[in-house]
Structure 1
Amino acid sequence: MADEYAKSIYLQLKSIASLYDIDFHLYLKSSGGFGELCMDWNEADGYLLYGDERGERVSLFKTEDFDTFKYEVFLHLAFRMGLAYELKQRDLTYIRKNDDDLQGDTRKVAFEETVRLLKQMNPDWARQAAYHYAEYLNMWRTNKNVTYNFATGRFEATE
């Protein structure tokens, strides 16, 4: 019964991903050990999200709340797409001035694309991710002044 339920959740997530053109790089139970994102479900732990590295579950996330699980799944999938987007957009001629140079922080573009994708799916997910990413972008900055501007869809450093 647990295997059937896990499969039904997997198919539901796959269907949601197709509605929003989200690349569905998620495996049910195992990816063959290549470190890809996997999911499972069981009665004891609830919903599980992890990397499958040579048969070992790494970076395990678990919750009994399906909405929390969906957010985590699509945060990971959207972030993967955000990274691919950033690589295509990267200005290889730009030289980052210092740790406070937000324009030169390549994570910024990846995070912005991730938030944009999540916003299409659920505005609350986008807000949650934007807040988390702003905290992350501020972590090593001298001035902790990066915020997400929902009107422009960009992370900005206020002076």
Structure 2
Amino acid sequence: MPDYAKSIYLQLKSIASLYDIDFHLYVKSSGGFGELCMDWNEAEGYLLYGDERGEKVSLFKTQDFDTFQYEVFLHLAFRMGLEYELKHRDLTYTRKNDDDLQGDTRKVAFEETIRILATINTDWARKAAIHYAEYLNIWRTEKNVRYDFDTATFTTKKF
């Protein structure tokens, strides 16, 4: 079934178009420039990877299409989140220490990623919020970062 990967790609592209998601995804190869690629085969299932000079790097594979869709759109939304953060970065703010959440530029990128995912699937947004909160807490003295869905921001306030 050689065209199955292409049909999956077109299905994902259609979803991205519906939600105005920048669709930087290639089938099988990006020409070796490290871009996000996807493929499918019967033995391994759905594959997501970076194509770096013909080598598959950071390979993610699953037999479950829903899990695959989440990973694809998480990557695409994160790319958009990073672009958003760079455009809106406050260059006048100096981060005080590792516990200064406001000065952590990843916070804004993650918030935008979650906002984008929420437009497609609220379960995906919740899953990403949990993951990103855990990540933001790794180097903090107080492990108190949580995502507040009411304000759509990461916060250190108590719930």
Give TM-score scaled by structure 2 length: 0.99
Matched residue, 1:145: 144
Letter in 1 for 2:85: E
Matches of 1:149 and 1:91 in 2, distance apart? 22
Letter in 2 for 1:63: T
Instruction: Work out whether 1:8 is the aligned partner of 2:10.
Output: no
CA drift at 1:5: 0.5
Matched residue, 1:22: 21
Give TM-score scaled by structure 1 length: 0.99
Letter in 2 for 1:56: E
Matches of 2:100 and 2:108 in 1, distance apart? 13
Matches of 1:117 and 1:158 in 2, distance apart? 24
Matched residue, 1:54: 53
Q: Deviations over 1:5-51 (max 9, x none)?
A: 10000000000000000000000000000000000000000000000
Q: Give unpaired runs (5+ residues) of structure 2.
A: none
Matches of 1:151 and 1:8 in 2, distance apart? 37
Letter in 2 for 1:6: A
Instruction: Work out whether 1:80 is the aligned partner of 2:75.
Output: no
Cα RMSD between the aligned structures?
0.6
Q: Counterparts in 2 of 1:37-52, with a 5 A limit?
A: 37-52=36-51
Q: For 1:155, what is the secondary structure of its paired residue?
A: strand
Matches of 2:151 and 2:93 in 1, distance apart? 22
Letter in 2 for 1:12: Q
Q: Deviations over 1:34-90 (max 9, x none)?
A: 000000000000000000000000000000000000000000000000000000000
Letter in 1 for 2:53: R
Matches of 1:155 and 1:128 in 2, distance apart? 14
CA drift at 1:158: 2.2
Matched residue, 2:124: 125
Q: Give unpaired runs (5+ residues) of structure 1.
A: none
Q: Deviations over 1:131-154 (max 9, x none)?
A: 000000000000000000000000
Please list every run of at least 4 consecutive aligned residues from structure 1 whose deviation after the TM superposition is greater than 6 angstroms.
none
